[in-house]
Each structure stands twice: as structure tokens, then as C-alpha cells.
Amino acid sequence: MSGYQLALLTMNILLLGSGGREHAMAWKLAQSSLLSLLYVAPGNAGTEQVATNVPIDPMDFKAIDRFIRRNDISMLVVGPEAPLVAGIVDYFQTSDKHKNLTVVGPPKAGAMLEGSKDFAKAFMVRHNIPTAAYASFSSGQLQEAISYLDKRKPPYVIKADGLAAGKGVIITESIEEAQKCLEDMLENAAFGEAGSKVVIEQFMDGIEVSSFIVTDGEAYRILPSAKDYKRVSEGDVGPNTGGMGAISPVPFVDAEFHEKTLNQIIIPTIKGLKKDNIPYNGFIFIGLMKVGSDPYVVEYNCRLGDPESEVILPLLKSDLLHLFDSLGSGLLSEYDLQIEDKAAATVMLTSGGYPGGYKKGVHIKGLETPMRENEGLIFHSGTTKKRGKVVSDGGRVIACTGLGNGLEQALERSYKLAESIDFSEKQYRKDIGQDVLIKVS
């Protein structure tokens, strides 16, 4: 432990969010020697095991402000993207009452990397960061958008510009479907304000992987790579979800790919933010496509991923609160990030019907895991307590994380947990990680 860490006092922290990502963050923060009290707003039945849940909406900045003042909070950690894109960091940075508050998350200008696909694409082009060719169109430009589409070859990739909870990307072989999608977004407001502008992109044929960095706008640290499984059904088919599982690290991220990602994407992104005078203090989650042996940016996110957090955070040997504190004190360049030499896999148990309609309030059994913490962890994603019992409260319910000496062992433990937890109409993918295992064997 370095000298500056020893000199610090313990602190009270407020973490915003209620998913598996926030349970994994709370679990990791709760292990810190720097922590005094940890609150999660609003949290779930899992965060309640390691922190105090407070019933505050992460978008209610005034209520958060009051809670921070009344509870001597010195650090606010923002889990999801919506409050960041809505300017929560700017709200607290411009307030005289919160001069000493550390906020983990970028201000609105930085969060726009996720909040607007058009902004992110223009940023990448400006800074020479590899990404698919594109064009953007606003409401009132439907005919121009359709003409542009006519000149492209399938598959067609259409993205709503704004936040759309993972549902704003359409990839289709059918020109009719692509045209209908443009009409729905630009004329019929199918995605509300988020789709009032669209980005049409060239299709990239490759394999997806994500890179995660934490930066103060100058220094950066790279977290383990991860790959998530977005489609609802095995074989990666069916509608998109928030993520049905994840693995980390990703076996095909070799030294060459890592170097290319660092030099062609990570460093130019941080330099680009600086050049554009965009301050940043938090995570950048870079969705990549490996095309041949080269990385291209699919998208930026201004936060950690979910369920990627449920595999990345258990692999951190270092103290997460020290990492956040070094962001606040400008000492990230001195922070020694240590990663376990292990693999992690998580399988998401979801409610029957998800990502369509599903029941809530279903009793979950088998949460008292027989596994040791260094072998398996249960992170709650959409749960709450009802009459003292843990019940489902979302489409994604429980993330079952397995840890092992290699991916195979991590997956085996993850699936053992997935089988041992039970609730009515439980569904999960049985092929998480299999594509990658086949490729490396």
C-alpha cells in the first residue's frame, strides 16, 4: 500500500444503480479498508447483503444531493449511463455545497460518447480511430436516409442515435426491413427522442470483444477484457438483451491485438478527449470488433458493462475504492492495478419471456451458495425482497459467476451455480463461452 493511501481516512460512499453491475461493485467496495459506510440507491436484494439500500431514483439529482449532505458522503459512484448522460456529474461539480465530493463518472460532455452515436462517430473520425464508415440522418431526412441505404450492400446496420437500453441497433439483410426501421425511427418516433437521429453504418464482419479502461483524462488503467453474449438464445440468435452472460479475460485477445487496441484506440481516445477539452473521470467501455486481426470501435460506453462487471470485478486483486480514490485525488498514474491470474464466466438467469414481457415477484430458491467465494459468486441483477424473501424484479434476475484457473473451469462453476438456483420459468443460455472455447482448442 502506498503512503498516500495510508494517510487517508475512511469514507462514506453512495453508489447509484440497481443491477448486477452495482451488486458486483458494492461487493468489491465493501472489501475496502477505506470504506466506512456504503449506500446503494436504489440497490437490490443482493446489494442489501453488503450495503444499505436507500429508495432514491438515480435520476432524482435533488434527492441524491440531500442524501449526500445528510449522510456525510464523500464519494458518489454512478453505475448506469442515464444519470451520466443527463449531467449528474456536472450537477455536483458546479455546486458550491459539494466541493469535496469525488464523483466517479464523466461529465455530460464525456458521457456523450455513449449518449449520442453520431457524436461518438464524429469523435472517432476526428481522431483517426478505426470504426465502420457511416452517415447520420435526422427526422425530416427520411428520403435522404433511404437513398443512402439503396447504395449500400446488406447486411444493413441502423442505430438510434440516443440511449435505447440496448434495443436501438438493428442489423438486417432485408432492405424492406431496413427502410421500415428508418421510417419507424425518423417518422414514427419508435424510439422516442433517441431515434430522432439515426446512424447508418457499414457492417463489420468479425468477433466482438470489449475493452475497459478507467481514466482521469490523462492517466489510464486497463481492466481485463470481456465478451458478452447479447442475443437471448443459444447460437447467438433471437432478440437482443442486456446481456445473457460474459467471460473474462477473452482468450483471443492476444498480445498483438492488445497492442493494436492500445495504440490505435485507447491512447487516441484519451488524447482525443483532451484535444477536444472534454474532461473525463471514470470508465470507458469500448465495444470492439476484431476484423481479421484488427480492432475497430463498435461503440463507446461511459460506464462499466453489465454483465461484464460480474466477471471483471472478481478478477481485480487491487482495492476498487483505492482506484476510485486515486481518480478523485489525481493520483491514478501512481495506482498499482493488479489482476488475478484467473478466468471468470457468468451466466445470467432470466425471467421466462424476457426480453419480452415477464412476471415479477417470483420467489428465488437456492441462493445460499455452497461454493467458496474464490470459486463462485452470485450477483443479483433484478431482485427485491418481499415479506423477507428474495423475489425477481426484472428480466435479468441473477448472474452466476464462476472463477477458475482457466475458462473451462470458470464456466463449469458458473453453470453449477446456474443449476442450483431455481425459480419458476427460469431461463438461461447453455452455450456461454463455447464459441471461444472451440476457437482456442
Give residues in contact with ligand GLY (CB under 6 A).
166, 228, 243, 301, 305-306, 308
Q: Is the dihedral of CA 225, 230, 231, 232 positive or negative?
A: positive
Sequence-distant (≥ 6) Cβ neighbours of residue 49 within 8 angstroms:
none
| 145 vs 163, beta carbon nearer ligand GLY | 163
For the CB of residue 210, give the shortest distance to ligand GLY in the complex, in Å: 8
| 161 vs 228, beta carbon nearer ligand GLY | 228
| 140 vs 166, beta carbon nearer ligand GLY | 166
DSSP state, residue 422: B
Which residue shows C-alpha cell 433517441?
Answer: 194
Q: Is 32 helix (H, G, I), strand (E, B) or coil?
A: coil
| 308 vs 325, beta carbon nearer ligand GLY | 308
For the CB of residue 228, give the shortest distance to ligand GLY in the complex, in Å: 4
For the CB of residue 52, give the shortest distance to ligand GLY in the complex, in Å: 25
Yes or no: say if 27 and 50 are a contact pair by the CB < 8 Å rule.
yes
For the CB of residue 82, give the shortest distance to ligand GLY in the complex, in Å: 12
For the CB of residue 41, give the shortest distance to ligand GLY in the complex, in Å: 19
Terminal Cα-to-Cα distance of the chain (whole angstroms)? 39
Which residue shows C-alpha cell 477473452?
Answer: 250
For the CB of residue 92, give the shortest distance to ligand GLY in the complex, in Å: 24
- Helix 20-29, helix 320-329: angle, nearest 10: 90
| 65 vs 306, beta carbon nearer ligand GLY | 306
| 311 vs 403, beta carbon nearer ligand GLY | 311
Sequence-distant (≥ 6) Cβ neighbours of residue 110 within 8 angstroms:
273, 278, 279, 280, 282, 302
Q: Is the dihedral of CA 316, 319, 324, 329 positive or negative?
A: negative
Yes or no: say if 78 and 13 are a contact pair by the CB < 8 Å rule.
no
Distances (CA, A) of 80 to 47, 57, 254, 260, 266: 15, 12, 30, 28, 22
For the CB of residue 40, give the shortest distance to ligand GLY in the complex, in Å: 18
| 306 vs 319, beta carbon nearer ligand GLY | 306
Number of H helices, E strands in the chain: 15, 21
